[in-house]
Chain A
């Protein structure tokens, strides 16, 4: 065509380019690989691990592809579009109201039936869908072969096989998605047909709904009314209450006919359909011997070996982090402190030289030698455990213990995550079903020693007093968590919800994912903590030189010196610790560098300092997370409680320890 010569048309084309913005949502069951695909497409860092319920809030990112600006939305994993949980309601609303141009339904090829059950519900929402048939490698290793073209044919929806962790099929998926948006779907998607008696009632209701304005498709509303979906009943009840009562009557008829509630009948039929499709498209050749993963699963959930594995793997993690960290930390200190003569010869020993060395370099060295050696192996191991799937086994084993705190086994997952960082752990408490349980779980999570606290425990007590003392502190910490958790349960009593959790197979963790996640964490640390450490040290050094430091320390000394028996200077470093907990130790090391370093503390002082640092306050980021999740009153209450608790505990510990030593 000769359009190129026509300026008017050209302009139009440019305009179109600008408005080439499309929205794609990722939806599917929990733990199928949505976030892996999301990260792959957007280059962002959504939480990835092998347990259900990591993504708790929808995440958005953008991507430029083929001249389009694409907004990608990662939705939380859900099993159905009913209103059992907030996530389900939110996702359903998002798809129906925000109307993404296409929904990528990520499907776990190794658990086809359950996943297709969700797909069928998505189809009832009548949005454009494309299926990413993910985890093809896992399906293959389980002896499951899926006939992709047959699946496409039966559903009337394009299906792209993918192996998300390796990036296989993702580009094809995106291309196909765009093709559908551009040209519209090639065929009409199939529709679940329920039994005659149900279809009859559905069409009666759809007919009645003709007059009513609704966001969801009418057939969908009709089905949901029969299922007695609370939200839909409320919405329709407001505009057309007679339809809701008709639906109730019709549902009653079905119930009488089948002897089961209407929602039970509909859900069963939908599952039947999903099962039927799954059986038609998959060929199952199960391996003759149980796989390695199954054997590992049996071993790690057994009533004896399971608990033994739990204890010994935690001990192993602890020892290996300590051994590695201690070794690396020693190596790095010799290296850096060896630079001091070089440095003094360059800057001289005058005022300026001492400020630069004592202010900047010592903070930096303390940061590098104390923090990095422990944090890096720590995150590697934690992410390894998370991606293997071990956390779900721990949740299974710890369920009855958690019930003593008014929680269920899944609450142990945020606790484990808390060992890494309390902030995502607080958000992770959303895997609990009720607000009360979320609060309880978040409270105990803030008591968990995070990676930063681990730096203090291992870098101070572990290094100078020996590993057994560090271990004792950890065990003591767990006891405190249990006791305070139980107390909190007494304060906010209530029925604990029962555990309902899908148990996913063990997976060999994808190492690149682990290193990426670790690197992301460490980079964040370098970006945030190092400037803080350096600025903080500088401020401290200046304050020291100008004499302000002493007066602040003096104000705090009734608590720090008189009650806790610590050097006055710790008052200041503990204040810094509110920003990031490890700062309190790093700063202390920097400040004490001229008077013999951390080794100049007595044994009892080290223990008391560590105890206080372990509990005294959630760091500022955690307080913010608590605030966001539960409001400022509860955040403030937890903070104040922990300050009072830690200081009392420290004083008592001091007196007891001086008694015995």
Chain B
């Protein structure tokens, strides 16, 4: 099985299931422009390799491993989009297709350099989607800059299941890893008790892109989707 197509499949599942929901085979086949029968076959193979969980009736969800690869691809893709758009000044309509071709051959080192060069962008030029966080063991962008000047070797890789709080399902818990955002927003969230290392559980998710309700430090907090997507947590296993 070619690596490129594994990556493409995982990325598609990732993008179709933005809040951890299952994805139907029909949706995948439509998105990849591949016949449903071949999609089913491919999904079975991916499930065997442990990248996804697949059941014919319920659809597909990513496993931790699958998610990590998918996130990496999404990150490379979106960074490339920014690069093509901001630096090479390519039209924002065209960057997506270009990036789709280039993402598979971009090495991790090149990805890090690209991230630094672009000063740690947060969103894509064409659709405003969030760029997933980088997987180094660091928690703010300034730090990444600083550490680079000291040599990156000492920084370990995250071996965590890092996701935005919007990806958690009701009842899932995790530890806050870091929060992305301006000084004011960050301070407000810290003041409400969302400090790094704090355990949060998702109590309720309002439908249709509504807010999430978290329990934190024996109290309940409601965060709009916009903020919740900036809070990155290390998901607790089997919760």
Contacts and interface: CB of A to CB of B under 8 A. Distances in A.
Interface of A: 79-80, 82, 84, 111-114, 117, 227-228, 255-256, 259-261, 263-264, 267-268, 271, 275, 298, 301-303, 392, 395-397, 399-400, 403, 408-409, 498-505
Contacts of B187: 80, 82, 84, 227, 263, 267
A268 B196 contact: yes
Interface in B160-196: 178, 183-193, 195-196
B223 A500 contact: yes
Contact of A408 (B138, B185, B192, B224): B224
Interface string B134-150: 00001110110010000
A498 B195 contact: no
B227 A499 contact: yes
A263 B182 CA distance: 12
A504 B219 CA distance: 8
A118 to B, nearest CB: 9
Given A301-B213, A499-B227, A268 B195 contact: yes
A79 B190 CA distance: 10
Nearest to A121: B191
Contacts of A503: 213, 220-222
Nearest to A112: B218
B209 A400 contact: yes
Nearest to B228: A498
B1 interface: no
A395 B187 CA distance: 23
Nearest to A78: B191
Contacts, number: 132
11 contacts: A79-B191, A84-B187, A259-B140, A259-B143, A271-B193, A301-B213, A498-B227, A500-B188, A500-B223, A501-B221, A502-B220
B212 to A, nearest CB: 9
A396 B206 CA distance: 7
B233 to A, nearest CB: 15
B146 A400 contact: no
Given A263-B186, A502-B222, 9 more contacts: A84-B191, A260-B196, A261-B142, A268-B197, A301-B213, A396-B211, A397-B210, A399-B210, A504-B220
Given A264-B186, A301-B204, A408-B224, A399 B193 contact: no
A392 B217 CA distance: 19
A501 B210 CA distance: 13
Given A114-B219, A268-B197, A499 B140 contact: no
Nearest to A495: B226
B207 interface: yes
Contacts of A499: 211, 222-224, 227
A247 to B, nearest CB: 15
A267 B196 CA distance: 10
Nearest to B196: A260
A82 B227 CA distance: 19
Nearest to B209: A400
Contacts of A263: 183, 186-187, 190
A503 B138 CA distance: 32
A106 to B, nearest CB: 16
Interface of B: 138-140, 142-143, 146, 178, 183-193, 195-198, 204-211, 213, 217-227
Q: Which of B188, B190, B204, B219 has the most CB of A within 10 A?
A: B190
Contact of B206 (A79, A275, A392, A400): A400
B218 A113 contact: yes
Contact of A84 (B188, B197, B205, B222): B188
B217 A114 contact: yes
Contacts of B193: 113-114, 117, 271
A275 B213 CA distance: 21
A259 B177 CA distance: 11
Contact of A260 (B140, B146, B209): B140
A454 to B, nearest CB: 29
A502 B209 CA distance: 19
A521 B143 CA distance: 57
A113 B184 CA distance: 22
A186 to B, nearest CB: 30
B195 A396 contact: no
Contacts of B142: 255, 261
B239 to A, nearest CB: 18
A502 B219 contact: yes
A252 B216 CA distance: 29
A268 B190 contact: yes
Nearest to A306: B206
Contact of B213 (A261, A396, A403): A396
A264 B190 contact: yes
B188 to A, nearest CB: 5
Q: Lowest 10 CB-CB distances: which A-B pairs, in order?
A: A499-B224, A498-B224, A80-B191, A498-B226, A503-B220, A268-B195, A498-B227, A267-B190, A303-B207, A400-B210
A409 B211 contact: yes
Contacts of B213: 301, 396, 503
A11 B178 CA distance: 65
Contact of A498 (B196, B204, B223): B223
Contacts of B185: 498
A302 B206 CA distance: 8
